[in-house]
Structure 1
């Protein structure tokens, strides 16, 4: 795998998809449909999915692609693959709250090794570079020219004053009870894979997720966090969260900066 080429392609496709998403987001109205699992899907999800999946298959024809919006890609047994959520946080998109992202990741031998997370409404772009280190790019994004990049590193947590980030749309009593096991200085909420990115930037120390997620929801954010020195583990036993699971469904998990002493469930 040529990781420099991969970074270039994933970054470009995320920006192009973001442009398509924002055209629809800024329109006066758009259609919202309901999928078989009762989750919403919009024309923005579908347009971004077509663009990204076609671009990945053209650039990397030998690597399988798994994408949320193409059910036929879900019936695969894979260890190495590209995985896409073209619009993560559709509920945030529909409510026009801005906390939605484009997620593209590479999984290698069941590990989320490279990824890009783009939040077009917030103007934030995070990705792993050719060396697997995570950067945030700022400025006016150009598809062919990389702007200013800042290497990211997780915080050095103060165990007596942690900053916790949790889901904006899916926070529940179980999540609050688990957060209550820690000495928390501040708590914030965010939508989509931005929660991983807030831990990657050092804006938060801990992100527990006690709810259903799929691998396309988490792989890109996981890779971004890992490239900044963070970790993602299974909630029950604190073993590493891996990918290529049957049905691509995740268990509950915890994303965190090393230095946080994880509590038992």
Structure 2
């Protein structure tokens, strides 16, 4: 894989998709429908998916593509592939809460090694550069020319006073019970893959997820966090979270900065 080309293409497509999404976000009708699993889908999901899928297939025709909005891609089996969630946080989008993201990642041998997370309503753009290190870009987000970037690095945690981020829409008693095993100094709620990015920037130390997620929900954020020095591990045994699993469904997991004293699942 040409990593320079990959970085350029993923970044550009995420910004273009974000622009499409914001045009619909600012309109009166999202055309909200329910998918077979009762999760919402809008014309913004579909418009972003069409743009990203076409761009990735044109640029990398020999790399398998998995995308949330195309069920036909969910039956393939691969360890190296591109994976897309064109609009993560559709519930946040529909409720106009802003915490939604465009997610594109490249998984190599079961590991998300490159990714981009763009939160257009929050004006935050995170991505891995060609060398694998993560940056946050600021500026006007021109799809054809990168603006100023700030290299990201996870924080050194204080295990007696951790900063935790958890889901805004999927918080439950089991999650709260687990979080309460830690010494907590600050608790944030955020939607979509932004939670990974808050650990990557050093704004949080720990993000536990005790709920159903799919690989397209997590791969880009996982890559962004890894490129900033963080980790994503399985909740049950703290082994690395891998990708290319049957059906692309994740187990429960924990995203964290190095040095965090992870508590057991028991």
Give 1:231's aligned residue: 231
Structure 1 stretch 138-147 or stretch 83-92: which is displaced more? 138-147
Pairs within 5 Å for 1:7-86: 7-86=7-86
TM-score w.r.t. the length of structure 2 is: 0.99
Find the aligned partners of 2:63 and 2:246 in 1 and give their Cα distance.
18
SS in 2 for 1:115: strand
Find the aligned partners of 2:169 and 2:176 in 1 and give their Cα distance.
14
Pairs within 5 Å for 1:1-265: 1-265=1-265
Deviations 1:175-228 (A, max 9, x none): 000000000001000000000000000000000000000000000000000000
Deviations 1:2-52 (A, max 9, x none): 101000000000000000000000002221000000000000000000000
Deviations 1:136-170 (A, max 9, x none): 00011111111000000000001111000000000
Deviation >2 Å, runs of 4+: none
What stretches of structure 1 of length at least 5 have no aligned partner? none
Indicate the RMSD between aligned Cα atoms, in angstroms: 0.4
Find the aligned partners of 2:30 and 2:262 in 1 and give their Cα distance.
43
Deviations 1:92-132 (A, max 9, x none): 00000000000000000000100000000000000000000
Counting matched residue pairs gives 265
